[in-house]
Structure 1
């Protein structure tokens, strides 16, 4: 297995600072709870929001780590999903890692072109013949588009999950692939790996 590179110092430092701030806030609450005149509900709500923010930043950090050994096109992918999110254009992008995906995909249309954000955005433009289904990327190449992914069976009963998210989870349950998802309904960005889905910040970059 390729070594995962997590040496993204500025992002790591930001995470450390945010975690320290939450630790300090929790410590202050612990000290204040014995004072009957203090109501901690609003403070606790703020800490909960901060935790969610850290979760998204951490997911963005680890997305860099998971992708860096397998593609040099992170910046192109970042620009693409941000633009798709802004325009509320749905997207489903599979980044092949070590596992072969041939047996898991219903093959789509061959592309065989370098990864660029403009090409990816044109593929997912509403009305494009290729916008349904997933794009498959291997290293720095777009292999194909309009691929059909296996749907998750573990999350079949979750009505909150759309088809794209179930497809992303389904493939990640059966392989080590990483799947980027842009929701057409909400514009939110997430990725699936190892059968789990994680939200990422709307403006992630290297």
Structure 2
């Protein structure tokens, strides 16, 4: 396991513990409502912050949970996207699952290389001729790079989203592929699956 990262079983335990803590605080807040002199607004703010942290943790857990049946290199992918996030290097990574996606994408450059974090990271280094477009991962191999994905017309929260995110959603709407996006503007990591986009905090140590 990569140093500094939790495996799936540890992450599940941490997620359960955090939810139990939130549940206990909610019950405590309900009881304090009987005290008219006690203001629960501060507690609600703390709960909101904790819910966001748990949401990040849950997204991280399910990302690796969705990846692990289809590639033994899921921790390599997690390590790579964390590095890309910190460097604000944009990335678009497709992990093929049960559905073949050859007919849904415009094929790029065939690689057929064993997946490593360093190789995957180097592909998205600015100036690399392969950094535009999506990397396609099949099993434990980087199958190809610079692939073009179908774009979605979906908007998020009433706002238009960037091309990488539209591409991630577009492919996830047409297949069961999991698509990871790193924003070069914010460094935020997201993944698309089943036509939905799930953000993961850049500061998370759980992915």
Q: TM-score, normalised by structure 1?
A: 0.91
Q: Give the structure 2 partner of residue 140 of structure 1.
A: 140
Q: Distance in 2 between matches of 1:111 and 1:158?
A: 38
Corresponding residue of 1:75: 75
- Paired positions, count: 199
Aligned twin of 1:64: 64
| Secondary structure of 2:113's aligned partner | strand
Q: In the aligned structure 2, how far is the partner of 1:90 from the partner of 1:11?
A: 26
Deviation of the 1:156 alpha carbon: 8.1
* Equivalences for residues 34-183 of structure 1 within 5 A: 34-155=34-155, 158-183=158-183
1-structure distance, mates of 2:109, 2:138: 15
Tell me what 2:4 maps to. none
String of CA shifts for 1:83-141, please: whole Å, max 9, x gaps: 10111000110000010101110111111111111111111011111111100000011
**Aligned-pair distance for 1:9?**
2.2
Mean Cα deviation higher: 28-37 or 142-151 = 28-37
Task: State the match for 1:198 in structure 2.
Answer: 198
Distance 1:91 1:184 in 2: 8
The one-character-per-residue Cα deviations of 1:160-186 (angstroms, maximum 9, x if unpaired) are 521111111111111000011111011
Structure 2: 5+ residue runs without aligned partners? Answer: 1-6
The Cα of 1:40 is off from its aligned counterpart by 1.1
Q: CA deviation at 1:16?
A: 0.9
* Separation of aligned partners in 1, 2:35 and 2:11: 37
Residues 160 and 52 (structure 1), Cα distance of their counterparts in 2 relative to 1, 3 Å cut = farther
Given the superposition, is the C-alpha separation of residues 157 and 132 from structure 1 closer, same or farther in structure 2, using an over 3 Å criterion? farther
Q: Displacement of 1:38 after TM fit?
A: 1.2
Q: Distance in 2 between matches of 1:131 and 1:159?
A: 26
Q: Aligned pair 1:12/2:17, yes or no?
A: no
Question: So what's the TM-score if we normalise by structure 2?
Answer: 0.91
Runs of 4+ in structure 1 deviating by more than 6 angstroms, as ranges, are: none
